[in-house]
């Protein structure tokens, strides 16, 4: 198909916030299901898909540190939050008929496989959707950085960042009505203008390996599949 010709293997980063729905905390099962169905369609079209799920809907180390908690300890709690989200996503994907594996950067052998790079690749070659949990396994990092890291390790053709808006804007479009959406940006544009896309560590990792990033609205039905076909609205970040 045209889809599989365009991309062979992709990584989708889903933030924890995307799973909250209308709430301000936790998980709304319908949101997880909607995203899982979109992922299932792309997987069935023959594209190898892996996911990195954030944990910000449950716990963020930085926020806990602001209230006096030890930062590293808070970050470990944040990484565990991503595992909860990963298990929810795994279940939703399997209900959609997709084979999945959760691979955790922090060993948790009763519920997830340990992350082993070559094994992850093998899972994807067999058509399984691999969900990377527990971020990078290190405090002081984010799941955006984990996404850039894993996408490079998996030799993905593109890193997709599913957000609440349909691309990168000059300002927050929900607050600034005449904010402008970019079709294309360079890694340096994002870094030097401090555009709110992914943290600088993630952008730098992508830049060093010329990994293209696509930012799109994860909440538009079928958006992931459309972006895979090169349709719809999104921002591309390339050299
Ligand atoms: N985290 C971490 N190392 C990582 C990835 C995540 O310490 O490699 C922790 C960090 O505390 C972060 C939390 O896990 O705040 C949840 O991840 P993130 O904030 O990236 O989630 P998202 O914003 O995507 O929901």
The answer to whether the annotation marks 1 as part of a ligand binding site is no
Cα 72 to Cα 65, 67, 97, 100, 212, distances in angstroms: 9, 13, 38, 30, 30
Rounded Cα–Cα distance for residues 235 and 167 (Å): 5
Q: What is the pLDDT of residue 1?
A: 43
In which domain, by residue range, is 181 found? 2-238
Is the beta carbon of 214 within 6 A of some atom in ligand 1? no
Q: Which atom of ligand 1 is nearest to the CA of 105?
A: 8
Report the share of the chain in percent with pLDDT over 70: 98
Most distant pair of Cα atoms in the chain: their distance: 53
CATH classification of the domain holding 139: 3.40.1160.10
* Residues 139 and 72 sit within 8 Å (Cβ to Cβ): yes
Rounded Cα–Cα distance for residues 159 and 21 (Å): 23
Structure-token pair, residue 117? 């790079």
ipTM of predicted assembly, 2 dp? 0.98
Helices (H), the chain: 2-6, 29-44, 61-66, 71-95, 117-125, 143-153, 187-192, 200-208, 223-228
Is the beta carbon of 226 within 6 A of some atom in ligand 1? no
Is the beta carbon of 162 within 6 A of some atom in ligand 1? no
In 165-178, which positions are buried (b, 16+ CB within 10 angstroms) versus exposed (e)?
Answer: bbbbbeeebeeeee
Specify the range with the lowest mean pLDDT, choosing from 28-37, 167-176, 204-213, 226-235.
Answer: 167-176
pTM: 0.96
Is the beta carbon of 21 within 6 A of some atom in ligand 1? no
Distance between Cα 14 and ligand 1 center (Å):
12
* Residue from 26, 61, 104 whose mutation best tests the ligand 1 pocket (most atoms within 8 A of CB): 61
Q: What is the mean pLDDT of residues 20-33?
A: 93
Report the share of the chain in percent with pLDDT over 90: 92
The answer to whether the annotation marks 90 as part of a ligand binding site is no
Total domains present in the chain? 1
Using alpha carbons only, how large is the chain's radius of gyration in Å?
Answer: 17
**pLDDT by residue (tens digit) across 75-108?**
999 999 999 999 999 999 999 999 999 999 999 9
């Amino acid at each position: 198909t045209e889809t599989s010709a365009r991309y062979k293997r992709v990584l989708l980063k889903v933030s924890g916030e995307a799973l909250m729905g209308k709430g301000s905390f936790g998980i709304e099962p319908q949101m997880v299901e909607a995203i899982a169905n979109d992922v299932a369609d792309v997987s069935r079209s023959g594209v190898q898909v892996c996911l990195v799920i954030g944990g910000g809907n449950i716990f963020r180390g930085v926020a806990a540190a602001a209230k006096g908690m030890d930062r590293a300890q808070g970050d470990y709690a944040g990484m565990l939050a991503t595992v909860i989200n990963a298990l929810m996503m795994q279940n939703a994907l399997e209900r959609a008929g997709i084979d999945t594996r959760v691979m955790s950067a922090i060993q948790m052998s009763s519920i997830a496989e340990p992350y082993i790079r070559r094994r992850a690749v093998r899972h994807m070659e067999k058509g399984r959707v691999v969900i990377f949990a527990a971020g990078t396994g290190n405090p002081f990092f984010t799941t955006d950085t984990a996404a850039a890291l894993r996408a490079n390790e998996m030799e993905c053709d593109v890193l997709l960042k599913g957000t609440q808006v349909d691309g990168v804007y000059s300002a927050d479009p929900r607050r600034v009505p005449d904010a402008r959406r970019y079709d294309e940006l360079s890694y340096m544009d994002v870094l030097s203008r401090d555009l709110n896309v992914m943290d600088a560590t993630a952008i730098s990792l992508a830049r060093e390996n010329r990994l293209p990033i696509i930012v799109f609205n994860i909440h538009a039905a079928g958006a992931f599949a459309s972006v895979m076909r090169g349709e719809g609205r999104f921002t591309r970040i390339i050299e």
